[in-house]
Amino acid sequence: MGIEQNIAYILERIEKAANRAGRNKDEIILVAVSKTHPIESILKAKECGINIFGENKAQELIQKYPLIDDVKWHFIGHLQKNKVKYIIDKVDMIHSLDSIELAKEIDKRAEKNQIKMRVLIEINIGKEDSKSGIYEEEIYSFMEELTKYKNLIVSGIMTIPPLNIDSDKTREYFRRMRQIFDEIKNLKYDNFDIKYISMGMTDDFEIAIEEGANIIRIGTGIFGKRIYKREGE
Ligand SMILES: *Cc1c(COP(=O)(O)O)cnc(C)c1O
């Protein structure tokens, strides 16, 4: 299937999952994860109505950014502090805030650019060594620290659950995220505007929608399989 058919199929599945959960499909934001895919594919997706793209490497985002107009970019991968300055004026949201040091750097660069940056707190919901993100137990102390950084708009939470687990277990993790969201969403600070739960990828986005996701991040389901080059090629 081509990108156009893939998108039609994903949109149909989003609508069905939303209906099952008694939700409106229009409250679900689709981020098309274009990492490793060429600009031609991104242009094609844009023609099909996609207007938000997700990248997880600063270098790749910088290369693609000037090649397409009138779309938004979300940064979805682990972000090194020294890369913040390259992406700060290019992205609308950073999904992967995972340390106070990073918050401080984003705040500093946002101030220099005279913008406010929307950020989501990444939660390592499965407590995996291989993943970044804070543990759920840390969320309140983390958020308290974030009140200091006035050039951030703390907008919600994001997670990538453990891979290759059965779908009931995935659903439990998503449900836990929803509980955390419900606990924090009424926290009121000048720089908080908590409204997003970013969870759900190609293999689990329908479960995520059923459990309350309002941002989903889909790569493979739209662009097909990723082919990674080996280092140095
Ligand atoms: C790659 C990636 C995705 C998309 O994954 P697919 O399984 O291809 O849909 C979503 N979120 C993050 C953070 C990613 O790195």
Domain harbouring 13, CATH code: 3.20.20.10
- Cα 206 to its chain centre, rounded Å, is 16
H/E run at residue 94? strand 93-97
Q: Where are the beta strands (DSSP E) in 104-233?
A: 117-122, 152-158, 192-198, 215-218
Mutate to test the pocket of ligand 1, among 202, 217, 218, 222 (most ligand atoms within 8 A of CB): 217
pLDDT tens, position by position, 49-58: 999 999 999 9
Per the prediction, the chain carries an average pLDDT of 97
pLDDT tens, position by position, 135-177: 999 999 999 999 999 999 999 999 999 999 999 999 999 999 9
Q: Structural domain tally of the chain? A: 1
* Ligand 1 in reach of 31 Cβ (< 6 A): no
- Does 116 fall in a domain? yes
Question: Whole-angstrom Cα distance, residue 55 to residue 90?
Answer: 11
Q: Helix 39-47 crosses helix 3-20 at what angle (to 10 degrees)?
A: 60
Range of the domain at 127: 3-223
- Does 205 fall in a domain? yes
pLDDT tens, position by position, 2-36: 999 999 999 999 999 999 999 999 999 999 999 99
- Does 232 fall in a domain? no
* Ligand 1 in reach of 56 Cβ (< 6 A): yes
* Residue 223 CA, closest ligand 1 atom number: 8
Question: Whole-angstrom Cα distance, residue 36 to residue 44?
Answer: 15
Angle formed at CA 5 by CA 3 and CA 228, multiple of 5 degrees:
30
* Ligand 1 in reach of 160 Cβ (< 6 A): yes
